[in-house]
Structure 1
């Protein structure tokens, strides 16, 4: 039978497939299809595995390349480009990392060897540099400390950690590197507080006291002082002048009453210096005249401006202030009147703006100025809205130590110290002999720097002995 287009040829007779033959052929086709699918799946898996292996090897090669570059750069940084030892290490790195079968595990030994060699070389260089710096600049440390170096060295505060800091501090001082100096002092203050407090930093007395920690109960306590009232309290609400300038203005108004006896240079000398520095010398001379000869309102206003100049001189920072308003003016006049009456009741002002002889000062304290002397008492004036604290009491004691230690005869009859606060309307006073002797001598040595054997310390001890026998 002829085959027509598109239709299968019909099988007749013996050409027809039996059912069993048909089933066998179908099974063979199915088996072949399954084998083909399995082979394709296997080839696909093999390709994926080769891809993963290739990607893993690429990652390893990249890691090896980065590590190799890092080690070679480190060798050059540590040993330099022409060092024989560095050449040997570079060859070892290239041999290990360029191997065809190199892995991160196989090069671990080489990496460890290079790191240890570089660390040892850096350590030896640092030790050699430290030794050379100590030889060249180590004597700057004793020069920085001056007479205090031996005391600090014997105390065990200087060791292998702190000596380099002190040497670098001395170099910063020598070369005028203020930024480096402040950074090193900050590190010493944070990590080596006792050593920081023993460094003579050429401070004012107020700055020195700010550097020293004074735990409660270890120095002076207000219970050692007798308290009494000197007038009505003055509130500080609604004043338009900051407290530090207000307090200085009150002092200057009272000092102004002593211009004829003490002289204007003694009373207004600091304000004059600051005014010249900030370009207000002409205004300052007008303020001086108003403080002495002006009306009450003019005196208060001039005292405020002079107080800003005084604060500028003491701190080294420029102080600006507006004119006092009516409330501030009234408060300043009231407090100055209370302070004046109180000092008159104590025998009058012997000295306003207490200055100390140059021989009183040390590398720890290079400048200080007390407030008032009456015939037997050294007074410090405060106008804060709180009672005196430990450092306030310690400040007035240190004034007495500076005066007596310098041998100034002005202090021969001064055997009391006190704090007066016209804002609170209170004053506190004590005899120096009632202050524990150990506290006085500790303040003389630890804060001011009068060590054992110092003639100034000897004067203080002799004075304490005489007062205890009186």
Structure 2
């Protein structure tokens, strides 16, 4: 099973990338808050915790929000503990954020297999990490107020997978924009922009009709508090065609 990101990693792109990150329009959202410089858990866990807690605080049920975490827990026979962690999430208090950080640790078992899984009991975010996660979720909610509403989240691409890409899940759709959330300390790379284009093209081939209305690709990074936007009409047709055939396999 090859994921979207797995395919992106193995794809040799043209110089600068199929879609150059500098082609995106950058909007800085300044809230006057500085994040703590150090965090004590892996950036992947932080990204997932911010992503899932944002979905939950905006109305998605806990079970749907953490569905991949729960599936991963089942694979490693930790469903009871996962349910205990899930029941301990009620908002953005310290305990909820700590439980979310542990719970998303199960995602690895589902996404990468048991070999990559490490016991979630060892995940212990410190005060600075918890504070940063809270701030990033709050920024994500402000982002939704300005660029939303979100019409679909945590979607997969049934009907759009191919022999080259057999798994992958997107973050958010608003009415006319496909969004990817990143919590990197750096601006998007050409791997990130290719990932977003693949999501869009797979979405068009999928069962989700919402993708027919999508006009823009967007990245929101709550760590940097920046929005990156690109009109799909500004992407050359030959790029669309080449990524569709050579990268995705349509």
TM-score, structure 1 as length reference: 0.50
Equivalent position of 1:426 in the other structure:
226
Q: Secondary structure at the match of 2:154?
A: strand
* Equivalent residue for 1:246, pick from 46, 67, 76: 46
The change in CA–CA distance for 1:300 and 1:387 in structure 2 (over 3 A counts) is: same
* Equivalent residue for 1:230, pick from 29, 42, 49: 29
Q: Secondary structure at the match of 2:184?
A: coil
Which residues in structure 2 correspond to 1:45-444 (within 5 Å)? 202-232=1-31, 234-235=34-35, 237-260=37-60, 263-291=61-89, 293-294=90-91, 296-316=93-113, 317-319=116-118, 320=120, 321-357=122-158, 359-444=159-244
**Is the Cα–Cα contact under 8 Å of residues 58 and 141 in structure 2 kept in the other structure?**
no
Q: 4+ runs of 1 displaced by more than 3 Å?
A: 231-236, 263-266
Count of residues paired in the alignment: 245
Alpha-carbon offset, residue 295 of structure 1:
5.3
Based on CA coordinates, which of the two structures has the bigger radius of gyration? 1
**Is the Cα–Cα contact under 8 Å of residues 57 and 91 in structure 2 kept in the other structure?**
no
Alpha-carbon offset, residue 294 of structure 1:
4.6
Q: Distance in 1 between matches of 2:34 and 2:41?
A: 14
Alpha-carbon offset, residue 257 of structure 1:
2.7
**Is the Cα–Cα contact under 8 Å of residues 353 and 371 in structure 1 kept in the other structure?**
yes
Alpha-carbon offset, residue 312 of structure 1:
3.1
**Is the Cα–Cα contact under 8 Å of residues 239 and 328 in structure 1 kept in the other structure?**
yes
**Is the Cα–Cα contact under 8 Å of residues 418 and 430 in structure 1 kept in the other structure?**
yes
Q: Which has the higher helix share?
A: 1
Alpha-carbon offset, residue 234 of structure 1:
5.0
Deviation string 1:172-198 (CA, Å, 9 cap, x unpaired) is: xxxxxxxxxxxxxxxxxxxxxxxxxxx
Deviation string 1:35-76 (CA, Å, 9 cap, x unpaired) is: xxxxxxxxxxxxxxxxxxxxxxxxxxxxxxxxxxxxxxxxxx
Alpha-carbon offset, residue 216 of structure 1:
2.9
**Is the Cα–Cα contact under 8 Å of residues 216 and 390 in structure 1 kept in the other structure?**
no
Which 5+ residue runs of structure 2 have no aligned equivalent?
none
Deviation string 1:131-150 (CA, Å, 9 cap, x unpaired) is: xxxxxxxxxxxxxxxxxxxx
**Is the Cα–Cα contact under 8 Å of residues 75 and 110 in structure 2 kept in the other structure?**
no
Q: Distance in 2 between matches of 1:439 and 1:268?
A: 35
Alpha-carbon offset, residue 218 of structure 1:
4.5
Higher relative contact order (CA 8 A, sep 6+): 2
**Is the Cα–Cα contact under 8 Å of residues 360 and 402 in structure 1 kept in the other structure?**
yes
Alpha-carbon offset, residue 264 of structure 1:
4.4
Deviation string 1:116-172 (CA, Å, 9 cap, x unpaired) is: xxxxxxxxxxxxxxxxxxxxxxxxxxxxxxxxxxxxxxxxxxxxxxxxxxxxxxxxx
Alpha-carbon offset, residue 286 of structure 1:
2.5
Q: CA RMSD in A?
A: 1.9
Q: Distance in 2 between matches of 1:248 and 1:438?
A: 34
Alpha-carbon offset, residue 311 of structure 1:
3.3
